[in-house]
Amino acid sequence: MTTTHSTTTTDRRTRAVTWVVGAYVALSALTVVAIAAFARVAPSLVNPQAWVRGVIVAATSVLTLVFARGAAAGSARALLRLRIIVVIILVAIGAVLFLVPLPAWMIAEQIACGVLLLATAVLIFR
């Protein structure tokens, strides 16, 4: 079986999207763990907004991964959903950074999530 350059490039891009979104899921899950740990040992590092934002980001990251895997499997609808959710989440991260009072460590985490999602957007909108 021969592969064309286009197929190989698409396969690489698909793997990259899945990897980057997987990193976003891992970062989001670790953030929820960090929130729980900080709430116990250093409550001043956590506020109610951190809890809400952390749980929402973790939940949407899993949904994003489901769409990324569907797109990787060749589903055009999953790719469309992935494109929509990535744009929505990027806008939400921007709004949260400017409007929601979060602890400094969580602002850094949100910026990292934004960078991962921006990389995803670059890959899926090419």
Is the predicted pLDDT of residue 65 greater than 70, yes or no? yes
Report the pLDDT averaged over residues 61-90: 96
Token readout for 48 is 């109610």
Instruction: State how far the Cα of 57 lies from the Cα of 39, in Å rounded to an integer.
Output: 18
Count how many domains the chain has.
1
Is the predicted pLDDT of residue 2 greater than 50, yes or no? no
- Say which residue the tokens 């969580």 belong to: 106
Q: How many residues does the chain have?
A: 126
Phi, psi of 14 (to 5 degrees): -60, -45
| pLDDT tens-digit map of 4-57 | 555 677 788 899 999 999 999 999 999 999 999 999 999 999 999 999 999 999
Domain enclosing residue 63, as ranges: 5-124
Q: Give the residue among 52, 51, 57 at the shortest CA–CA distance from 28.
A: 57
Q: Give the residue among 109, 114, 115 at the shortest CA–CA distance from 35.
A: 109
Query: Strand locations in the chain, DSSP E?
Result: none
At 1, the pLDDT band (50, 70, 90 cuts) reads: very low
**pLDDT the model gives residue 10:** 76
At 110, the pLDDT band (50, 70, 90 cuts) reads: very high
For the question of whether the overall pTM of this predicted structure is more than 0.85, the answer is yes
